Amino acid sequence: MNYNRKIPATKSHENGFKRLTNKQMSVYYWLISRSYWNSLKKENHYYIYSEDAKISQIRKDLGIKSDKTVRSALNTLEAYGYICRIKELIYIPHREYYTYLNIRLIKFLLKWSVSIGSELILFYSMLKRVFEINNKRDTKTIFNVPYMMKLLGYPKTDSATHKKFQLYIALMQHYNLIKTKNNYVINSLGKKCTTYTLESIEEDITIECEYTEDDLNIEPDEVILKELRKSLE
């Protein structure tokens, strides 16, 4: 059985797709993490049996308060083309602009995302995709929190998201999902800032956050922007 899954490495509202809420994205990841794939036929979709995607189980696993919210999320995912329900099966079409994560890792990140935000998985998948693109160019992957905020469409002034993304990085380092070389510099405002040189990013499984204003001007270059989403506009 193939345990790797194609996970979107682009913001949900780009490339012609509608923006999803955090709960809707969580339900989408939940379905993928329990899906099957016919590797012999090399099908362009994953699938899960409807009986294995019980509303009550999804609600419980994701900490969603009501069955109604889960049903609404499934309806939205289907309306936007993320899933297709036919009789006893739920089909999950493969997406463009993806990276591979194994099911075990998706489930692990999904558990954490209940507490610290569903964008944890998107954050990880986009960082992994950046790393893959740069490796093909024989280029180092250097990033910081504002870099990731821009990739995910947040203004650098969003302090709540800034702190949340710092937590994401710390979590990944703690569980050895990423290996980084941390670089500490003083910015133009005289504040200590951290940039990261990404040395490796894993697919298998010291949270110690630094809540500093990391406003160094590291911009995603044009190749990254083009490969990730074709446009960050």
Question: Rounded to whole angstroms, how far apart are CA atoms 47 and 89?
Answer: 7
Q: Which helix (H) or strand (E) holds 106?
A: helix 103-116
Place 223 in a pLDDT band, splitting at 50, 70 and 90.
Answer: low
Q: E strands within the chain?
A: 4-8, 45-49, 84-86, 89-93, 98-102, 141-143, 178-186, 192-201
| Mean per-residue pLDDT over the chain, rounded | 84
Please report the DSSP string for 141-160 in residue order. EEE-HHHHHHHTT--TT-HH
For helices 22-33 and 119-136, the axis angle rounded to 10 degrees is 70
**Amino acid of residue 190:** G
Claim: this prediction has a pTM higher than 0.75: yes
Q: What is the mean pLDDT of residues 46-66?
A: 95
Decide if 103 contacts 121 (C-beta within 8 A).
no
Higher-pLDDT residue of 217, 71: 71
Q: Render pLDDT for 120-136 as a digit per residue (tens, 0 to 9).
A: 999 999 999 999 999 99
CATH of domain 4-99: 1.10.10.10
**Where are the chain's structural domains?**
4-99, 118-229
Q: Which two tokens stand for residue 75?
A: 């309806």
pLDDT at residue 222, as a whole number: 63
Q: What is the DSSP letter of 233?
A: -
- pLDDT at position 42 is 80
Residues sharing a CB contact under 8 Å with residue 86, sequence separation 6 or more, in sequence order: none
List 99's β-bridge partners, or say none.
7
Kindly tell me the burial class for residue 115, based on how many C-beta atoms sit within 10 Å of its own C-beta (0-12, 13-18, 19 or more): exposed
